[in-house]
């Protein structure tokens, strides 16, 4: 079988010399094309579905096999009618009647009537449907041959031609809505998509395409659509709108391994929260703006990919929105730790902004010669925000602040630590973590140089630092705006040039010959 849409035509009169498809020679349904009236095959009216006379009947036949899905489905739709004077379209929808009979494959024996007609037909008659616009038929049909009879009796007498579409479709699957959550005091829930071809819907509180949650107990319900042997199901969870839910709070904000701020929070055990909103303070307006909405079912962390923890500290807040209640108040803010380092004589001075959002924590100062190999060199309580490293290693050195919570943050796993950015004297590190607006190596001219160079940039005025390969600061130029920089006092070799303008840090390599 196939699912061709087959147009057919009902007319008030026909020329009898035109070959016709009567109940002796019905057209094959999936053959398509046109079928005309068959006065030779006029049948007894079923006296069912408003079908009481049979002056305008057309016929198709189908063969049902054991492999066909059940129930069988037909849909007939009115298209248009034209009246005898040629008006197009005819202003009234003619009523359409459709009846199914088992067929002997040869003649009209057994075609017509119903158990309600006189005489009754209790053998070949299957069922009928009627209506205007669109009519639906779905029934179990045993394997065999069948004739579909279609009549357009009501309001047809003033017309010369009516057209309809007949869609023959064997349903092989049903589509159910997604799982849903309802509040016990919600308005009735309309099934979407509705089950027009489902022979039954198994659901509590179901009536006429909607489910009314009022009066149902809290908990999960399985909703099932049935169409013969085919079914689909989805879950509906009825929740208590009066459940007491505390406002959400941030657990910690840390700088992750990708050098981005990561916000973590602990979930409350509930089915009432739909999603969380993450807010970030706008440094210009000092207003908090939503930067993300995270589903309750997702892991309770969010990475702010637009953060730049190397150059600024940020504040974040959180709220949540429930299925049965509006957005809660915003939480208290948490603020990240920003670490900076300043070179002194044979030492490095470290200073950092305090972590804000929790009170009970301690601080470790980490140091290493590589960013992935840092060790504790000092520990303090939460009131200390500076430290001088009087015995740093030679060359490049990396520092980071580790905050140790007294109470772990429990999301997918217990977490007791949060971190600042990494501060270092290694210019290549700034390029590797992506904080430079650009690599300015190609903007240094001439490069290589023997005496002086200039920098081309749109970020003037700026501060310029020249650093050797051991990480030692060699020269500083403040308020630089593109002038020549003298390097005749530098030894031959490779240097880093660091250009800083506010939050914009650019780094390039300079070769002195």
Distance CA 504, CA 182 (A): 50
Helix or strand or coil: residue 464?
strand
- DSSP line for 11-77: -S---TTS----SSSPEEGGG-S-----GGG-----SBTTB---SSEEEEEEEE-TTS-SSEEEEEE
Burial category of 284 from C-beta neighbours within 10 Å (exposed 0-12, middle 13-18, buried 19 and up): exposed
Sheet containing 159-169: give its strands across: 5-10, 159-169, 72-83, 134-139
Q: What is the mean pLDDT of each run of 10 residues along the chain (513 residues)?
A: 44 51 75 50 78 74 80 74 59 75 90 90 91 78 88 52 61 72 81 56 74 84 74 85 87 91 91 93 88 93 89 92 91 94 87 92 94 93 94 92 88 70 75 60 88 88 81 84 91 85 79 89
Give the CA radius of gyration of the chain. Answer: 40
- In DSSP terms, which residues pair with 278 in a beta bridge? 292, 318
- Under DSSP, the state recorded for 117 is S
Q: Which is nearest to 411 in space by CA: 190, 290, 188, 254?
A: 254
SS3 assignment, position 500: strand
Rounded Cα gap, residues 61 and 466, in angstroms: 91
End-to-end Cα spacing for the chain = 85
158 membership: H or E segment, kind and range: none
């Amino acid at each position: 079988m196939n699912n061709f849409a087959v147009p057919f035509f009902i007319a008030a009169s026909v020329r009898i010399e035109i070959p016709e498809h009567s109940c002796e020679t019905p057209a094959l349904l999936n053959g398509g094309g046109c079928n005309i009236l068959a006065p030779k095959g006029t049948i007894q009216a079923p006296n069912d579905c408003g079908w009481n006379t049979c002056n305008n009947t057309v016929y198709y036949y189908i063969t049902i096999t054991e492999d066909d899905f059940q129930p069988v489905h037909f849909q007939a739709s009115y298209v248009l009618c034209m009246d005898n004077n040629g008006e197009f379209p005819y202003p009234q929808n003619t009523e359409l009647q459709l009846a199914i009979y088992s067929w002997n494959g040869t003649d009209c024996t057994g075609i017509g009537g119903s158990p309600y007609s006189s005489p009754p037909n209790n053998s070949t008659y299957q069922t009928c449907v009627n209506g205007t616009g669109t009519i639906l038929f779905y029934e179990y049909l045993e394997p065999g041959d069948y004739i579909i009879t279609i009549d357009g009796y009501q309001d047809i007498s003033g017309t010369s031609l009516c057209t309809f579409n007949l869609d023959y479709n064997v349903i092989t699957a049903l589509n159910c809505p997604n799982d849903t959550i309802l509040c016990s005091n919600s308005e009735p829930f309309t099934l979407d998509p509705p089950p027009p071809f489902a022979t039954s819907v198994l659901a509590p509180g179901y009536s006429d395409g909607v489910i009314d949650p009022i009066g149902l107990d809290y908990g999960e319900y399985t909703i099932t659509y049935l169409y013969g042997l085919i079914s689909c199901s989805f879950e509906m969870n009825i929740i208590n709108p009066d459940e007491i839910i505390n406002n959400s709070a941030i657990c910690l904000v840390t700088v992750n391994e990708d050098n981005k701020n990561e916000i973590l929070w602990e979930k409350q055990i509930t089915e009432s929260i739909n999603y969380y909103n993450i807010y970030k303070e706008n440094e210009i307006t000092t207003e908090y703006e939503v930067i993300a909405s995270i589903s309750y079912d997702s892991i309770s962390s969010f990475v702010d990919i637009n953060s730049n923890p190397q150059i600024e500290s940020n504040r974040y807040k959180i709220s949540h929105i429930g299925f049965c209640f509006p957005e809660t108040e915003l939480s208290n803010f948490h603020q990240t730790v920003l670490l900076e380092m300043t070179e002194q004589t044979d030492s490095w001075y470290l200073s950092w902004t305090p972590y804000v959002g929790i009170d009970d924590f301690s601080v470790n100062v980490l140091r290493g010669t590589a960013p992935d190999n840092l060790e504790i060199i000092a520990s303090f309580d939460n009131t200390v925000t500076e430290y001088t490293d009087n015995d740093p290693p030679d060359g490049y050195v990396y520092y980071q602040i580790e905050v140790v919570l007294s109470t772990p943050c429990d999301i997918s796993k217990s977490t007791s630590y949060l971190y600042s950015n990494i501060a270092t004297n290694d210019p290549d590190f700034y390029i590797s973590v992506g904080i430079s607006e650009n690599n300015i190596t190609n903007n240094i001219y001439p490069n290589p140089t023997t005496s002086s160079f200039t920098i081309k940039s749109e970020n003037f005025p700026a501060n310029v630092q020249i650093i050797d390969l051991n990480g030692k600061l060699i020269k500083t130029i403040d308020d630089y705006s593109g002038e020549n920089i003298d390097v005749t006092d530098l030894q031959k070799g490779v240097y880093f040039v660091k250009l800083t303008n506010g939050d914009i840090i650019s780094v390039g390599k300079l070769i002195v010959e």
